[in-house]
């Protein structure tokens, strides 16, 4: 077809998936990045955040008029949507992206639309929270308004813990998140106990084309790092349907109509409540190969065509009607994010080859290299290493939540 897709500041594995589908269609994928380590004939070197006008000019010089622009990274959603708007391509808008990046705005919209979500309050600064904390009831969840991957999320059980965590959130807002949103604030919301789930959906023109449901278990805090997601073969279909239905309501209320969404939902007393959603794939697209293995649907291919298609007829001709199968009985397809007990500059990482060779491991992806900085694990400001796998426990084997802990000591990080 000779169409072109510009992928903005996204992981190599996601670019590879989009390129795989593009080549089958005789299309071309270009990578827009400021990272000098990314090389190749289809790389467009520009900083879309610091100089969006130059990024747009660089795209025009290299590609001409692309068919679509896409990112798998939450922290680049608004810049990507702005670039798409300026180029006159794509299905979304910067206004929609802004809503999906602001947890305070999302909560207001959901409450107005009567979409089930925990009660919450938003603040522009830590001082505003301090001025109000005497009126709050505990336990509470405290998080940055523009966080991602559970960065800075903590359950607090007292005013002392709240004040302590406000310092950490203020630091995250001033550093990691501040590069994108200098005006980032703080959300305080009621704590819900119970099981947590995530729903990944690919949409086209307001219609969900395929859904992937993951279980996160019943984490009790105080922190909520993105540690274990797994496809639970024992989840009752009626519960799964309720979770997916709520995720669709939440996405539609925000006005998201096309592309990937990743929605977090928690059950309380068997009733689902939406915590947050975003307009990108879960784990930057790493959940997609698990959905494909478990359910037989190529989510990356569906997302590609949902991004590139300009009409329903074009989309349906490209993907047909994706039909998901049930995961194999007793089989847990999982993504596990390895913890790390230390922080500092990495000198060496040992044990990667041995970890990748384990029988149940489908893929091992280390995000850090020697010379990179390893941040404290508690605030979940960055990923270290992820394992994708397939676990089929026997009667005497531990549950998956215990089994994956065997990975915790698999790697040795020399600082």
CATH of the domain at 55: 3.40.50.20
What distance in Å separates the CA atoms of residue 242 and residue 400, rounded to the nearest whole number? 24
Least confident interval from 58-62, 164-168, 392-396: 164-168
Kindly state whether residue 250 falls inside one of the protein's structural domains. yes
Assess whether 222 and 293 both reside in one domain: yes
Kindly state whether residue 329 falls inside one of the protein's structural domains. no
Contact 5, 259 (CB under 8 A): no
CATH of the domain at 131: 3.30.1490.20
Assess whether 183 and 218 both reside in one domain: no
Phi-psi region of 311 (alpha: psi -120 to 50; beta: other; left: phi over 0): beta
Assess whether 210 and 293 both reside in one domain: yes
Kindly state whether residue 324 falls inside one of the protein's structural domains. no
Assess whether 123 and 13 both reside in one domain: no
Q: What pLDDT is attached to residue 378?
A: 62
Kindly state whether residue 366 falls inside one of the protein's structural domains. yes
Phi, psi of 96 (to 5 degrees): -65, -40
Of 53, 72, 90, the residue at which a domain comes to its end is: 90
Assess whether 146 and 205 both reside in one domain: no
- Number of domains the chain contains: 4
315-374 confidence digits (pLDDT tens): 999 999 899 999 889 999 999 999 887 889 999 999 999 999 999 999 999 999 999 988
Kindly state whether residue 108 falls inside one of the protein's structural domains. no
Kindly state whether residue 101 falls inside one of the protein's structural domains. no
Assess whether 200 and 315 both reside in one domain: yes
**C-beta neighbour count of 173 within 10 angstroms:** 23
Q: What is the mean pLDDT of the chain?
A: 92
Task: Evaluate if residue 379 carries a pLDDT over 90.
Answer: no
Query: What is the token pair recorded at 358?
Result: 């384990």
On the CB side of 202, how many CA atoms lie within 13 Å of its CA? 24
Contact 235, 257 (CB under 8 A): no
Of 255, 289, 319, the residue at which a domain comes to its end is: 319
pTM of the model: 0.93
Assess whether 186 and 71 both reside in one domain: no
Assess whether 170 and 205 both reside in one domain: no
What distance in Å separates the CA atoms of residue 278 and residue 250, rounded to the nearest whole number? 10
9-42 confidence digits (pLDDT tens): 999 999 999 999 999 999 999 999 999 888 888 9
CATH of the domain at 202: 3.30.470.20
Assess whether 213 and 309 both reside in one domain: yes
Kindly state whether residue 232 falls inside one of the protein's structural domains. yes
Assess whether 264 and 343 both reside in one domain: no
Residues across the chain:
415
Question: Alpha helices, DSSP H only, in 344-392?
Answer: 352-356
Assess whether 202 and 265 both reside in one domain: yes
Kindly state whether residue 106 falls inside one of the protein's structural domains. no
Contact 243, 265 (CB under 8 A): yes
126-166 confidence digits (pLDDT tens): 888 888 877 788 999 999 888 887 788 889 999 899 888 88
Task: Evaluate if residue 301 carries a pLDDT over 80.
Answer: yes
Assess whether 205 and 160 both reside in one domain: no
Task: Evaluate if residue 95 carries a pLDDT over 90.
Answer: no
Query: What is the token pair recorded at 367?
Result: 């995000």
Of 190, 210, 234, the residue at which a domain comes to its end is: 190
Residue ranges making up the domain that contains 249: 196-319
């Amino acid at each position: 077809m000779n169409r072109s897709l510009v992928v903005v500041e996204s992981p190599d594995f996601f670019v590879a998936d989009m390129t795989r589908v593009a080549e089958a269609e005789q299309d071309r994928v270009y990578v827009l990045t400021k990272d000098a380590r990314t090389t190749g004939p289809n790389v467009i070197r520009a900083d879309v955040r610091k100089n969006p006008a130059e990024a747009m000019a660089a795209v025009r010089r290299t590609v001409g008029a692309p068919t679509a622009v896409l990112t798998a990274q939450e922290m680049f959603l608004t810049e990507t949507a702005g670039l798409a708007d300026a180029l006159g391509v794509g299905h979304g808008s910067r206004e929609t992206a802004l809503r999906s990046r602001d947890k305070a705005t999302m909560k207001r919209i959901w409450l107005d639309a009567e979409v089930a979500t925990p009660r919450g309050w938003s603040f522009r600064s830590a001082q505003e929270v301090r001025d109000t904390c005497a009126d709050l009831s505990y336990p509470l969840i405290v998080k940055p308004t523009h966080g991602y991957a559970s960065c800075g999320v903590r359950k607090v059980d007292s005013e002392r813990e709240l004040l302590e965590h406000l310092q950490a959130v203020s630091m995250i807002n001033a550093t990691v998140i501040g590069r994108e949103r200098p005006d980032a604030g703080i959300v305080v919301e009621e704590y819900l106990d119970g099981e947590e789930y995530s729903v990944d959906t690919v949409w086209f023109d307001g219609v969900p084309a395929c859904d992937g449901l993951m279980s996160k278990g019943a984490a009790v805090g105080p922190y909520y790092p993105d540690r274990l997601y797994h496809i639970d073969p024992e989840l009752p279909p009626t519960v799964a349907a309720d979770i997916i239905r709520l995720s669709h309501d939440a996405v539609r209320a925000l006005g998201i109509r096309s592309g990937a969404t990743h929605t977090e939902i928690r059950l309380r007393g068997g009733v689902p409540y939406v915590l947050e959603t975003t307009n990108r794939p879960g784990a930057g697209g790493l959940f997609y190969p698990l959905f494909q293995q478990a359910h037989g649907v190529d989510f990356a291919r569906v997302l590609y065509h949902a991004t590139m298609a300009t009409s329903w007829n074009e989309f349906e001709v490209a993907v047909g009607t994706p039909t998901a199968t049930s995961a194999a009985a007793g089989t847990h397809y999982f993504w596990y994010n390895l913890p790390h007990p230390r922080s500092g500059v990495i000198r060496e990482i040992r044990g990667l080859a041995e970890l990748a060779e384990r029988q149940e491991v489908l893929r091992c992806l280390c995000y850090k290299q020697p010379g990179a900085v390893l941040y404290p694990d508690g605030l979940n400001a960055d990923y270290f290493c992820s394992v994708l796998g397939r676990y089929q426990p026997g009667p005497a084997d531990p549950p998956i939540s215990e089994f994956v802990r065997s990975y915790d000591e698999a790697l040795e990080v020399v600082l």
